[in-house]
Amino acid sequence: MKEFPKSGVGLGRHLIIEIYDCDPLVLDSINHIKGVLIDAAKATNSTVLWHKFHKFSPQGVTGVVVVAESHLSIHTWPEYGYAAIDVFTCGSNTDPWKALEILKGAFKPKRISVLEIKRGLLAENEED
């Protein structure tokens, strides 16, 4: 069995993104959101495999773009001007931070929070 990379070098990077104070009409447009997430996936240098989006009634959109290198997902609450977005990419040829610029430009949040989690790391105190 192949070993996990040593500490500091992971298998992937996962951005947990929260955007606030966005235009409710933008956050409720399934076509806009679908285009933005696909563009964001391409910006990370990922290979888009498939996507699925759903429009809720009376409002809100959820969706996922599955890429060969992992996924991007979104869930919106237009009534609060809020969206929760995940950008998870694996491999050395992808950069999840490139998606952030696409997302900022498309949703124009007044506030944003980003947490990066490195995936597939050995614990610092784990021994070989």
Query: Which H/E stretch holds residue 48?
Result: strand 48-55
Cα separation of the two ends of the chain = 14
Residue in 32, 70, 73, 113 annotated catalytic? 70
Residue in 14, 90, 92, 113 annotated catalytic? 90
Question: Which residues lie across from 75 on neighbouring strands?
Answer: 62, 84
| 71 is an active site residue | no
| 22 is an active site residue | no
Query: Which H/E stretch holds residue 51?
Result: strand 48-55
| Cis preceding linkage at 24, omega within 30 | no
Residue in 71, 75, 92, 113 annotated catalytic? 75
The residues annotated with a catalytic role in the active site are 70, 75, 90
